[in-house]
Chains A and B, each alone.
Chain A
Amino acid sequence: MFLEIVDVFISGLINGSVYALMAVGLTLVYGVTKAFNFAYGSFYNLGGYFAWLLLIPLTVVGGYYSVFFLAVPFFFIVGYLLEKVLIAPLRKYDDWEMKVMMLTLGLSLFMDFGYQSVFGPRIKSLPSIIDGTVEIGKVVLFQQDIVIFILSVSGMLCFGWVLNNTRTGMAVQAVAQNPAGAQIVGIPKDFIFAATFAISTIMVGFGGILLCQKNFVDPMGSTDIMIKAWVITAFGGMGSIRGSLYAAFILGMLEAFVGWYFGMIHVQIATLTLLLVTLAIRPQGLMGRE
């Protein structure tokens, strides 16, 4: 029993770390632009397909090393172009945040059905990043899980470092806190909006590469990820990066323990119950501002 609980705890920790990596990106976009990107889950799938294309049909030299190396510029360009080509033209309208939500919802459906058209309706499986197990006492851990956890946490640390120690990171924080004030001290808001989308797309793309090894690449799987990301963002507090981190790990644990004790079919309803109860008691979420 104890070993089972430890196993479930580790599973929750690993899922939570990847959810945190992904949700922080979504929160960042909301925090800076006040617009919600409903296509976020579809970019998670793009991560899965990106890795699958390179590893299986193209059998790229270097395996996952090449995948991660190429993923950074690829997802940066995709996110940057998404903002510049589709989102930025909407900002001339007064209700542009709503228009962005409508557009990204449409984009999500376009991408999901596009995956079906291009890659077929069947799920794809990715090879493990590493095989084998590690024994710590009586607890057996998959090396794949350890690597996923390390990479997710490293991704978040990189994100935190960029946000707090680079010129762009400081500008992102300034725009998130005060767009008008940021502009008058010389911060190019339009570039920061595009950079924010680019950074968040890198994060969700990495999340897709990491989790699709465990969960397969499913052309219609974006909805599940979008629900998770939305729950984490709202539960943690819209726009609160720290809140999203806490919420991601709480959700990861909740999923693991509910799935283990009650069965996987009850996981989604448990997470949504947690969200609704939290928002009923504390509408701004765990760490959101009133």
Chain B
Amino acid sequence: MLKVDGLTKKFGELVAVNSLNFEVKEGQIYGIAGPNGAGKSTVYNLITGNYRYEGRIEFDGQDITGLPPYRIAKKGIARTFQVPEIFPSLNVQETIRVGSRFGARGGLDKKHSDEVLNFVGLEEERLQHAGLLNLLGKKKLMVGAALATKPKILMLDEPMAGSNAGEIADLMDLIKKINQQLGITVIIIEHFMKVLTELTETLLIIESGRMICCDRPEIVTSDPRVIESYLGDSYAEDK
């Protein structure tokens, strides 16, 4: 469904992403992990057209290399950010409708927007200002705005960051529902290995913009290169 081929991004002398290749299959939950500064979020920014890059990206059989972000969104690729990016003066319902109005093919779909509102569990906060929601609420709202664009693939950037155990369980349930009930392919960048090993079918580890390993989570987490460069010996011992 999403095929990344030879993806390279340089910021001056710094090579943030270096000849990266990977393929996400339809219906998968695909994980990406790596140390801070490995280039994980940059990969998202490249896929969504925020920067120019070398290489080729194919989505749903179409070449989307070099397309601007709004056209990529309309093709069916949605994403979220580490820090929830919302529209503070809009209320919850309006925020989700912005996603539907501009991102979905066919324009504003109020029925679908309301279904999304219920799906992410924000129906009681529908008239509340987005800026006043707690962190979990803002994260759910950002996911809701992304779902309102009727995506085929949803890219989540560290959705668990700053969350407690209860919130992590809540968000993991939501991600499973998105994948299983809505049939949306999910890519997730995350540092919590427990989340990745439980949710994902394939896990890609990158360091300094390069792929170290890409396989099933249980194989990846046992790989000596991954333990050495990212997980550390203590993880292997705990395991």
Contact = CB atoms under 8 A, between A and B. Distances in A.
Contacts of B74: 186
A183 B69 contact: yes
B232 interface: no
B217 to A, nearest CB: 27
A185 B149 contact: yes
Contacts of B101: 167, 170
A177 B70 contact: no
A184 interface: yes
B73 A183 contact: yes
B103 interface: yes
A183 B148 CA distance: 14
Interface residues of A, number: 18
A178 B142 CA distance: 12
Given A173-B89, A177-B87, A186 B81 contact: no
A251 interface: no
Nearest to A188: B70
B48 A170 contact: no
Contact of B85 (A180, A189, A190): A180
Most buried by B among A167, A186, A187: A186
A199 interface: no
A267 B138 CA distance: 48
Interface string B47-88: 010100000000000000000111101100011010001111
Prevailing SS type, chain A contact patch: helix
Contacts, number: 71
A181 interface: yes
Given A167-B101, A171-B102, A185 B86 contact: no
A189 B70 contact: yes
Interface string A90-123: 0000000000000000000000000000000000
Nearest to B48: A184
Contacts of A178: 85-88
Interface in A168-203: 170-171, 173-174, 177-178, 180-190
B69 A174 contact: no
Given A171-B102, A181-B87, A186 B149 contact: yes
A271 B64 CA distance: 53
A32 to B, nearest CB: 13
A189 B226 CA distance: 39
Contact of A183 (B70, B88, B89, B146): B70
Given A167-B101, A170-B98, A170-B101, A186 B87 contact: no
Nearest to A191: B70
Contacts of B99: 185-186
Contacts of B98: 170, 174, 185, 187
B147 to A, nearest CB: 11
A49 to B, nearest CB: 37
B145 A185 contact: yes
Most buried by B among A174, A184, A190: A184
Contact of B73 (A171, A173, A185, A190): A185
B112 to A, nearest CB: 14
Nearest to A183: B69
Interface of B: 48, 50, 68-71, 73-74, 78-79, 81, 85-90, 98-99, 101-104, 142, 145-146, 148-149
Given A184-B146, A185-B78, 7 more contacts: A167-B102, A173-B87, A177-B89, A178-B85, A178-B87, A182-B102, A185-B145
Cβ-closest 7 pairs across A and B: A186-B103, A181-B85, A186-B73, A183-B69, A186-B102, A185-B99, A188-B70
